[in-house]
């Protein structure tokens, strides 16, 4: 929330006749004044001296300021010039931003009223409109996707394989190894994800279903199936895939962790992808995780991330069982 710095002041000017026998001196040219003169700030001036040298001019149009003016950074403006040319404009309606206004993560400033009129993109937080996002879409499951995020959205199979090998390489570089080779990935809408996950959180964008086959009390096979919400921008899709593959890692090692430690650990996969992606969007998504108030995806993540920063991957992977 910002407030534009507009101050309206009044210049005090007085016209006065010269008083007999007390001819004042002009504070500009230092010569005595005959006839009418002007006073400003307790000093006297010839009318011409005042107008040509003392009277303030508008920084925008260069013309004299008479009466009300606005001031910004010690510069003076006609109120009209200030409103129309100096005040920042709303990126949505192009009207000056007077009074309270918002600036989003992406540096777009707009009137607060627009945020109640326009839907927000579910992945980048921008208000969806032609001016900011080149439009956008309602996905039909309660989510909105803006035109910018839509450019890289993952809704078909063609990106799954390349994303999968990229994410696996990244995880392996930190010791998350020996993941099963063929893990099916299915794109679903948010409604389906809610049905699949026994405990659903808004911070959730994927779910991994684990199955274990036992015979005579012995595990004979394990398999996992990853579900990810469709239409995520590629960067976020990869981050969610990394998170879900971390679940597979835990499952393969029979690590049954408390929810905050489990989700916090799996979010390190997302963190890896965001830190590996040099884009403003990746920074935005990482910030989102860092600020999340979710007990598992937010607090849990920060706890495990701090532990990782202090002790490193090797220690973390070896002691996952003992974290409290
Ligand atoms: Zn003078
Ligand atoms: Zn002006
Ligand atoms: Zn506006
Ligand atoms: Zn977006
Ligand atoms: Zn998870």
Q: Can you read off the two tokens belonging to residue 299?
A: 């607090």
| Domain presence at residue 271 | yes
Instruction: Name the domain count of the chain.
Output: 3
Alpha-carbon gap, residue 153 to 133, rounded angstroms: 14
Q: How far is the CA of 10 from the centre of ligand 1 (A)?
A: 23
In angstroms, rounded to a whole number, what is the distance separating the alpha carbons of residues 162 and 167?
A: 9
In-domain check, residue 228: yes
Boundary residue ending a domain (86, 109, 127): 86
> Looking at the structure, do residues 30 and 114 belong to the same domain, yes or no?
no
How far is the centre of ligand 3, averaged over its atoms, from the C-alpha of 109 (Å)?
Answer: 9
Confidence of residue 5 (pLDDT cuts 50, 70, 90): very low
Provide DSSP, 138-202. Answer: E-SSS-EEEHHHHTTEE-SGGGHHHHHHHHHHHHHTTT-----S---EEEE-HHHHHHH-SS--T
56-78 pLDDT, tens digit each: 999 999 999 988 899 888 999 99
Give the whole-angstrom CA distance, residue 41 versus residue 45. Answer: 11
Residue 235 lies in a domain: yes
Give the pair of three-digit tokens for residue 164: 């999968």
**183 and 204 fall within a common domain:** yes
The answer to whether residues 261 and 174 belong to one domain is yes
Same domain, yes or no: 198 and 173: yes
Q: Which of 110, 135, 151 is the last residue of a domain?
A: 151
Please state, in angstroms and rounded to a whole number, the distance separating the CA atoms of residues 100 and 5. 10
Distance CA 46, CA 25 (A): 9
My answer on whether 129 and 47 are in the same domain is: no
Residue 122 to residue 138: CA distance in whole angstroms: 10
Residue finishing a domain among 86, 108, 127? 86
Please tell me the number of the ligand nearest to residue 267's CA. Answer: 5
115 CA to centre of ligand 3 in angstroms: 10
Is 93 domain-assigned?
no
**Which pLDDT does position 22 carry in this prediction?**
64
CB neighbour class for 306 (10 Å; exposed up to 12, middle 13-18, buried from 19): exposed
For 118-167, the pLDDT digits (tens) are: 999 999 999 999 999 999 999 999 999 999 999 999 988 778 888 999 99
Q: 108 CA distance to ligand 3 centroid (A)?
A: 11
Residues 139, 269 share a domain: no
Same domain, 176 and 104: no
Q: Is the pLDDT of residue 242 over 70?
A: yes
Alpha carbons 217 and 225: distance in angstroms, whole number? 23
167-180 per-position pLDDT tens digit:
999 999 999 999 99
Element counts in the chain: helices (H) and strands (E)? 11, 16
**pLDDT at residue number 100:** 85
Structure tokens at 239: 């981050």
Measure 251 CA to ligand 4 centroid, in angstroms.
33
Instruction: Say what the pLDDT of residue 63 is.
Output: 94
Do 139 and 161 belong to one domain?
no
User: Is 179 found in the same domain as 119?
Assistant: no
Question: 95 lies in a domain?
Answer: no
Q: Is the pLDDT of residue 99 over 90?
A: no
Q: Which domain holds residue 275?
A: 154-322
- The model's pLDDT over 298-307, given as tens digits with 9 standing for 90+, comes to 999 999 999 9
Partners of residue 26 on adjacent β-strands:
none
145: CA distance to ligand 5 center in Å?
Answer: 22
User: Which pLDDT score, from 0 to 100, does residue 201 have?
Assistant: 81
The whole-number pLDDT of residue 199 equals 80
Structural Rg of the chain based on CA atoms: 32
Residue 12 pLDDT greater than 80, yes or no: no
CATH number of the domain to which 7 belongs = 2.10.110
SS3 content of the chain, % helix, strand, coil (to 5): 40, 25, 40
Tell whether 145 and 166 lie within a shared domain: no
Domain assignment of residue 91, yes or no: no
pLDDT tens digits along 252-280:
999 999 999 999 999 999 999 999 999 99
Burial class (CB in 10 A: 0-12, 13-18, 19+), 21: exposed
Query: Which is nearest to 264 in space by CA: 202, 200, 323?
Result: 323
Query: How far away, in angstroms, is 122 Cα from ligand 4 center?
Result: 7
| Calpha distance 317→294 (Å, rounded) | 23
**Is residue 78 assigned to a domain?**
yes
Least confident of 12-21, 166-175, 189-198: 12-21
301 lies in some domain: yes
Q: Is residue 79 domain-shared with residue 121, that is, in the same domain?
A: no
Task: Give mean pLDDT, residues 190-202.
Answer: 87
One domain, residues 183 and 220: yes
């Amino acid at each position: 929330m910002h407030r534009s710095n507009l101050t309206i002041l009044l210049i005090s000017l007085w016209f006065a006749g010269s008083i007999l026998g007390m001819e004042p001196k002009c504070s500009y040219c230092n010569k005595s004044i005959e006839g009418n003169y002007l006073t400003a700030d307790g000093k006297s001036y010839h009318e011409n001296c005042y107008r040509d040298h003392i009277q303030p001019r508008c920084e925008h149009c260069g013309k004299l300021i008479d009466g009300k003016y606005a001031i910004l950074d010690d510069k003076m403006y006609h109120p009209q010039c200030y409103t129309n040319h100096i005040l920042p404009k709303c990126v949505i309606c192009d009207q000056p931003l007077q009074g309270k206004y918002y600036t989003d993560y992406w540096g777009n400033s707009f009137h607060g009223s627009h945020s109640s009129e326009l839907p927000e993109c579910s992945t980048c937080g921008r208000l969806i409109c032609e001016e900011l996002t080149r439009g956008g879409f309602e996905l039909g499951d309660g989510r909105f996707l803006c035109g910018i995020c839509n450019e890289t959205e993952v809704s078909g199979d063609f990106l799954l394989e390349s994303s999968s090998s990229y994410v696996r390489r990244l995880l392996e570089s930190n010791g998350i190894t020996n993941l099963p080779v063929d893990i099916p990935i299915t794109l679903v809408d948010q409604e389906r994800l809610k049905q699949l996950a026994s405990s659903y959180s808004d911070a959730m964008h994927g779910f991994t279903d684990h199955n274990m086959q036992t015979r005579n009390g012995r595990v004979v096979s394990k398999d996992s199936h990853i579900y990810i919400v469709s239409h995520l921008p590629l960067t976020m899709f990869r981050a969610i895939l990394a998170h879900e593959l971390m679940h597979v890692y835990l499952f393969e090692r029979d690590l049954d962790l408390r929810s905050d430690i489990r989700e916090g650990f799996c979010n390190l996969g997302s963190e890896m992808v965001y830190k590996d992606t040099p884009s403003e969007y990746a920074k935005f998504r990482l910030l989102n995780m860092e600020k999340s108030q979710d007990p598992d995806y937010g607090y849990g993540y920060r706890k495990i991330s701090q532990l990782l920063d202090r002790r490193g991957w090797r220690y973390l992977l070896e002691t996952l069982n003992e974290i409290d």
